[in-house]
């Protein structure tokens, strides 16, 4: 049984796509979950058709969506205030120290983040690397377990089978609710499934893509 789970990703919606099922499982077990969200995704290009947002309003819209998703998932939210699409330019040590100060306070038993260099977006890779560095800087006896999530298309070829394979189809409705809280992003999501609509029920197609959440246990090599 976990004591407290901390999820660390850079964008509003990473938590919903990447870990909503796993989060829901823990919340049902009454394990506290905190989401440390790096940015507000304010550089997103998805402004809707017709445009419902502009550069000035998008951060506020995405912030409200993030708050709503975290309400759906029943997790504590901390917004870290980094700038979207610039995580890779932040000083890794500085971000790691920031994250470590929060981890020292929360003392989680498990940290979930992206697998550096296997997480597609530079923000994902940078935030994952900083999160792992933060845990590495902790006292070895007090380190939480780290689950790193790879999301590239060929990650299994490169990294082998994931250590943790969570079948989250039981939590699928909650996961979709969380994803759809991110309204400004959801039209893109639904578009991704459109190609399957002709042959399959949308929900079945979505389940195939979102029904599994997989992670690698990070080894600190000490
Ligand atoms: Zn993201």
SS (H, E, C) 4-53: CEEEEECCCCHHHHHHHHHHHHHHHCCCCEEEEECCCCCCCCCCCCCCCC
User: Where is average pLDDT lowest: 19-28, 79-88, 170-179, 202-211?
Assistant: 202-211
* pLDDT tens profile 100-147: 999 999 999 999 999 999 999 999 999 999 999 999 999 999 999 999
108 φ, ψ (degrees, to nearest 5): -70, 160
Q: Answer for the pair 39, 82: CB distance below 8 angstroms, yes or no.
A: yes
Distance, CA 218 to ligand 1 centroid (Å)?
A: 20
Q: Answer for the pair 172, 207: CB distance below 8 angstroms, yes or no.
A: yes
Average pLDDT over residues 75-83: 97
Please, what is the average pLDDT of the chain? Answer: 90
pTM (two decimals)? 0.92
42 or 208: which carries more pLDDT confidence? 42
Range of the domain at 206: 5-217
- CATH (domain of 105): 3.40.50.10320
Distance, CA 50 to ligand 1 centroid (Å)?
A: 23
Q: Does residue 222 fall inside a structural domain?
A: no
* pLDDT tens profile 33-57: 999 999 998 887 666 655 667 777 8
Please give the C-alpha separations between residue 126 and each of 35, 38, 87, 90, in angstroms, as whole numbers: 17, 10, 6, 8
Distance, CA 126 to ligand 1 centroid (Å)?
A: 11
Q: Does residue 13 fall inside a structural domain?
A: yes
Distance, CA 222 to ligand 1 centroid (Å)?
A: 30
Q: Does residue 49 fall inside a structural domain?
A: yes
**Domain tally for the chain?**
1
Q: Does residue 40 fall inside a structural domain?
A: yes
Distance, CA 37 to ligand 1 centroid (Å)?
A: 10
Protein residues near ligand 1, an ion, with CB under 5 A: 11, 14
Q: Does residue 182 fall inside a structural domain?
A: yes
Q: Does residue 126 fall inside a structural domain?
A: yes
Distance, CA 142 to ligand 1 centroid (Å)?
A: 28
Q: Does residue 135 fall inside a structural domain?
A: yes
């Amino acid at each position: 049984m976990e004591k407290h789970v901390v999820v660390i990703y850079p964008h509003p919606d990473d938590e919903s796509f990447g870990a909503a099922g796993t989060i829901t499982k823990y919340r049902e077990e009454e394990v506290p979950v905190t989401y440390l969200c790096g940015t507000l995704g304010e550089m997103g290009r998805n402004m809707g058709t017709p445009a419902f947002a502009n550069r000035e309003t998008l951060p506020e819209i995405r912030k409200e969506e993030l708050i709503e998703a975290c309400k759906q998932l029943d997790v504590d939210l901390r917004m870290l205030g980094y700038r979207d699409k610039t995580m890779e330019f932040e000083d890794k040590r500085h971000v790691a120290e920031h994250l470590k100060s929060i981890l020292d306070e929360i003392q989680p038993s498990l940290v979930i983040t992206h697998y550096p260099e296997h997480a597609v977006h530079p923000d994902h890779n940078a935030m994952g690397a900083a999160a792992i560095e933060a845990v590495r800087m902790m006292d070895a006896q007090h380190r939480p377990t780290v689950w790193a999530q790879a999301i590239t298309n060929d990650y299994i070829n490169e990294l082998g089978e994931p250590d943790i394979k969570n079948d989250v189809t039981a939590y699928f409705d909650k996961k979709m609710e969380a994803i759809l809280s991110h309204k400004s992003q959801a039209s893109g999501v639904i578009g991704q499934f459109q190609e399957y609509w002709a042959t399959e029920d949308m929900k079945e197609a979505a389940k195939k893509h979102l029904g599994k959440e997989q992670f690698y246990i990070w080894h600190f090599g000490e």
